[in-house]
Every structure is written in C-alpha cells, then in structure tokens.
Amino acid sequence: MLNSSMKKEAIEKLKSAVKKYETSSESLKSSAIKLHNTRTYGLDVIKKVEAYINTLANTPKEFEKTFQQVRVNLASFKALMEISYDEKQMIKLAGGGTVAGVAAGVATAALAPTAAMAIATTFGTASTGAAISGLTGAAATNAALAWLGGGALAAGGGGMAGGSALLALAGPIGWGIGAASLAAGGFFASKKNKEAAIKADKERVEVVKVTRTLEATTHEINALKESTQQLAKGLEKSLISFTSMTKSITSFAEFSQDERHLLRAIINNTESLSALFMKEVGK
C-alpha cells in the first residue's frame, strides 16, 4: 500500500523515542530520590553542628547570624519534606491551575509517596521560597500540595508547571501531543499512511526534545547530589574530629586561636551546605 512502509517506520521510531523517554523519566526520579536522601543526611549533619554550638557558652554573635541564614536556606526543603502526601487532594488542588499544571499534577499524583517528595524537594526548595515555609499547619500542606500538583499557589509562585523539566516529567499528556494514545494505536490506525507518518514524526521530535531536557536535568541533579554528599561528609568528619579534641571545653572563650579558626571553618561549611538546598535545577 502507498506510503505503508513510511507510516510503519515513523511509528516504530516514535515508539522507540517514547521508550527512551520513559527510561529517562525513571532515571530522573531515581536521581531525585538519591538527592533527597543525601539532603536528608546533610540536614542531620547540620543539626549536629547546631546542637554542638548550642552547648557552648560565649559564642560570637556572628554564629547566630550564620545559623539564621542556614535556617532560611533549609526552610522550604523542610516544609516540603514534612507535608502529608494525599494524592486525591493533590489532584483536586491541581484542578485550580493551568491545563499544563493539571496534567503535571495528575502525573505527579501517580508517583509513589517517596518519589513525590523527592520531586518536590528537588524542584521546589528554591522556587517556593518562603511562600510555603512561612505557612503552618493545613495552610502549609495545601500550599505545598498545590505546588506539587502544579495548581495555582496562593502563597505565591506559579506551581510546578513552570519548570521545563517538571513539565517534561508530566509525560505526553502534559506536552499537549497525542503520543499517549500510541499504546492503544487508535489515532495512527485510523489515519492515512502519509498523514500518520507526518504526525508520528512531529510527535517524535517533541518526545526527543523533552527526553533531552530530562537527561540534562538528571545530570544536574546527580552533580548536585555529589556536591552535597561531599560537603556533608567532610563537615561531619570535621565536627567529629573537632569535638573529639576539645571534649573538655564548654566555652568559646576557652578555645585556642587555631581551634577558633577550625570552628569558624565548620560554621562556614555549614552555611555552604545549607546553600546547596536552595540550588535550582531543571529551569
């Protein structure tokens, strides 16, 4: 039949592109979970540093100023991490946003809770800013779920649909193309060969485009995880070493000049680690 091979080849290429997209999507989710776990570890290390500083008397005012900034850097991550996961509520809230936001919200609601929180803390710690972290209780939960679902975020911000990587993660339905119907074969089976081939090629181009976005974002996430892990491990090691050699000291005034320099380095690295929680990816 005329153009039959063209249609068949185009559809096969589209299927292959969609399969590669699905692999890239799963890779990004896996990387986001690993970053979330690394950040959780980093958060624990920061808490240990702060707890130790709180045991000391006569600490410089600069330390408290530094930890105020640390708390600001961590606030959004902690707020997103602590919300209750409710996929029905997420979909409901997503319904108040853009069409793309709704698509992204429904796609995200289908994630397992661990993956959903990983996605939220990967893409939302900086973009939500104080909007969510400044809220409490049910208001914080609703705002965070609305952000995660891509809905209109009353606390400020445009929701997750604003990020190109997040929209890519929403899948074909979020891109406004018909590749999602490919599995059923409905669209392509009912169209003329040449028309179907052209449509399949156009959709393949879109799939390849979003796949590249996911791959680039996954690379960003992996690099951020490595930086966070390296700094967190180094900070924990420094804290253990410092506290071991200054066990009997309970006041900053009792430290030698060298010890004060070491402690200030620990404080500076704590702030640097917390700043990595604000780094945006996938924009």
Q: What is the pLDDT of residue 183?
A: 47
Residue 182 lies in a domain: yes
Which residues of the chain are under the pLDDT cut of 70?
1-3, 83-113, 126-167, 170-191, 283
**Residue 47 CB neighbour total at 10 angstroms:** 11
The pair of structure tokens assigned to 174 is: 């979020």
What is the distance, to the nearest Å, from the Cα of residue 7 to the centroid of all Cα atoms in its chain? Answer: 39
Q: Residue 127's closest CA among 90, 99, 164?
A: 164
Residue 283 lies in a domain: no
pTM, full prediction: 0.81
Query: Over the stretch 71-116, which tens digit does the pLDDT of each residue have?
Result: 989 988 887 777 665 555 555 554 444 444 444 454 555 566 677 7
DSSP assignment letter at 58: S
The pair of structure tokens assigned to 171 is: 């899948």
CA distance 206 to 195: 17
- Supply angle C-alpha 144, 175, 221, rounded to 5: 55
Q: What is the pLDDT of residue 157?
A: 44
Residue 281 lies in a domain: no
Residue 198 lies in a domain: yes
Q: Which helix (H) or strand (E) holds 134?
A: none
Tell me, what amino acid is at 40? Answer: T
Structural domains of the chain, count: 1
Beta bridge partners of 251: 57
Residue 231: phi and psi, rounded to 5, are: -70, -40
CA distance 74 to 63: 16
What is the per-residue DSSP string for 115-181? HHHHHHHHHHTTTSTHHHHT--HHHHHHHHHHHHHT---TTSS--GGGSHHHHHHT-HHHHTSSGGG
Q: Residue 37's closest CA among 218, 229, 165?
A: 229
From the number of C-beta atoms within 10 Å of its C-beta (0-12, 13-18, 19+), residue 149 rates as buried
Q: How far apart are the first and last CA of the chain?
A: 46
Residue the block writes with tokens 């506290």: 243
Residue 282 lies in a domain: no
Q: What is the pLDDT of residue 190?
A: 55
Q: What is the pLDDT of residue 76?
A: 81
Q: What is the pLDDT of residue 48?
A: 98
- Supply angle C-alpha 242, 243, 248, rounded to 5: 120
Do 65 and 279 contact (CB within 8 A), yes or no?
Answer: no
The pair of structure tokens assigned to 255 is: 């430290």
Do 193 and 6 contact (CB within 8 A), yes or no?
Answer: yes
Do 83 and 144 contact (CB within 8 A), yes or no?
Answer: yes
Q: What is the pLDDT of residue 22?
A: 86
Give SS3 for 281: coil
Do 31 and 219 contact (CB within 8 A), yes or no?
Answer: no
Do 3 and 9 contact (CB within 8 A), yes or no?
Answer: no
Q: Residue 94's closest CA among 113, 75, 117, 110?
A: 110
The domain of 215 spans 4-276
Q: What is the pLDDT of residue 282?
A: 72
